Structure 1
């Protein structure tokens, strides 16, 4: 698979996308080794093996989104193998995606949960309170992807008393964009930046306790740890949950501004953004409670 990964590395793909392909293909190889002791040979890959892998993930209870992402990685691998002559047949022709139920919007945090998370961030020990508070606020107030946050430099932040901006140099698809920073985000960033006097403009914005760059994994771990300390148990909380919270809050405060939200989130298609307009589980439950058929006796 190394030649395929080398080919991907030469394409215009985001680093996080490349890591995802590498991880998903390694997962397939690990599964393949459990059912076929012989060394994996791409030129001998058969359709029944891919279908068996799909069935294995379904039986293991993997989420449809995870299964489909891994199947997409295999489809891309097989298309490349056919283009190079490594594979002669179309082994992915019958490899169907798992159907996903997309009738509800993503889950975000409620206002009390946001406050609890921020309290936990502000109470962080080991001198990390200012950083963690600024980190959470930037993700809540600007809706950035975790990979975009990890890539931020000091030079990407512009702050003044009345305005602010964060510049994402390489968003998804390596597209740049700018997102305004509201007063809440600016108030969180100022003390954090003040604690690091005169940093180099190209210095990483969010650093670890050892003043080294925080990779995506460390940011994810920080958010998960803060959510645990805040005792948030209603939904699993990750860095992406904060992005969902931003999007849902934006549409709540700015009904109908889907195009504007797509621009802030860096979505290429409005179809991607439209998921936030779908009814939540709570909305559906409230609708049924109000239903004229919901009568006693």
Structure 2
């Protein structure tokens, strides 16, 4: 793509600042430079300007940027993720220009990103869940088995599992609950425990060291199990079960999908600690695979 010398110079200054002030990978820096060259090339092109104009940062206005966004969306037909990445690069570029006093006002501030359609996360199947649980039963400790069962039956986030204390668990004859004391955005909530969870936790807590500060302490240090260590534990059994393309967070998604079949949306949002019902809706929306299966039903072949 053709870019004027003046355009090349201003891009180089921006990239130089990022290189010196931030710990960014060469690939990331290259993407920033590429996004800016795309914009400058478009700005200086005959299709955009009636006459040959050399790029000057002070000549860029908000309407210019919204027009560029529309070109990417309607003419180039780029994916929303690509458009938004380029817009975010431009927003960062103009923030830098303000700091360097090249311009007084940021033309990119009012420019909105392109809405992206939320695609539902991949669903763990019944067979995959059974394989994962079997892998932990045959190869894991009681602690690890309890962690898996708890995550599959409560939908807790990894951080929330690591933060649990024995005092957060309350188990009765026919009911039980746990308290998430500091969930996302430090919100506290109560999560009900079904009979499977209660039975597993009772067995596990009976063998837990008295006075343990954490429900699932690190086996090495006895202190809080880190989220990284927890994800490593889950991945261990994922590999043993020969499951691919799944992570610790997919245990939470599994809970969401299974519960969404019969649970009212507002109740599921409360259990999972969602601020918005829009987030909970991902478990109701069909996945791409579901949609593909539906259209295949009317195929002539």
| TM-score calculated relative to the size of structure 2 | 0.66
* Residue 141 of structure 2 corresponds to residue 123 of structure 1: no
Match of 2:187 among 175, 190, 193: 175
Secondary structure of the residue that 2:177 maps to in structure 1? strand
Deviation string 1:174-220 (CA, Å, 9 cap, x unpaired) is 110000010111122122211114334xx111122222321110111
Unaligned runs of 5+ in 2: 1-11, 23-28, 37-79
Secondary structure of the residue that 2:139 maps to in structure 1? coil
Deviation at 1:290, TM superposition (A): 2.2
Match of 1:225 among 202, 220, 236: 236
Check the 8 A contact 1:147/1:216 in 2, yes or no. yes
Residues 237, 178 of structure 1: CA spacing in aligned structure 2 closer, same or farther, 3 A cutoff? same
Matches within 5 A, 1:49-68: 52=32, 55=35, 64=81
* Residue 277 of structure 2 corresponds to residue 270 of structure 1: yes
Check the 8 A contact 1:144/1:243 in 2, yes or no. yes
Residues 98, 151 of structure 1: CA spacing in aligned structure 2 closer, same or farther, 3 A cutoff? farther
Check the 8 A contact 1:50/1:95 in 2, yes or no. no
Deviation string 1:213-236 (CA, Å, 9 cap, x unpaired) is 211101111111110111012xx2
Deviation at 1:95, TM superposition (A): 7.7
With a CA cutoff of 8 Å and minimum separation of 6, indicate the structure with the bigger relative contact order: 1
Unaligned runs of 5+ in 1: 1-31, 43-48, 57-62
Q: Distance in 2 between matches of 1:54 and 1:251?
A: 43
Check the 8 A contact 1:141/1:246 in 2, yes or no. yes
Residues 34, 186 of structure 1: CA spacing in aligned structure 2 closer, same or farther, 3 A cutoff? farther
Which range moves more in the overlay, 131-140 or 209-218? 209-218
Q: Distance in 1 between matches of 2:126 and 2:177?
A: 24
Q: Distance in 2 between matches of 1:106 and 1:53?
A: 32
Matches within 5 A, 1:8-157: 35-36=15-16, 40=20, 52=32, 55=35, 64=81, 89-90=105-106, 93=109, 97=113, 100-102=116-118, 104-125=119-140, 129-157=141-169
Q: Distance in 2 between matches of 1:191 and 1:150?
A: 19
Residue of structure 1 equivalent to 2:262: 253
RMSD of aligned Cα (Å)? 3.7
Deviation string 1:46-93 (CA, Å, 9 cap, x unpaired) is xxx89826849xxxxxx959x87xx59x97xx69xx89x9x9653853
Residue of structure 2 equivalent to 1:16: none
Q: Distance in 1 between matches of 2:34 and 2:203?
A: 50
Check the 8 A contact 2:15/2:33 in 1, yes or no. no
Deviation at 1:289, TM superposition (A): 2.5
Residue of structure 2 equivalent to 1:12: none
Deviation at 1:35, TM superposition (A): 4.7
Match of 2:214 among 194, 204, 212: 204
Larger radius of gyration: 2
Secondary structure of the residue that 1:273 maps to in structure 2? helix
Check the 8 A contact 2:153/2:197 in 1, yes or no. yes
Deviation at 1:261, TM superposition (A): 0.7
Check the 8 A contact 2:15/2:32 in 1, yes or no. no
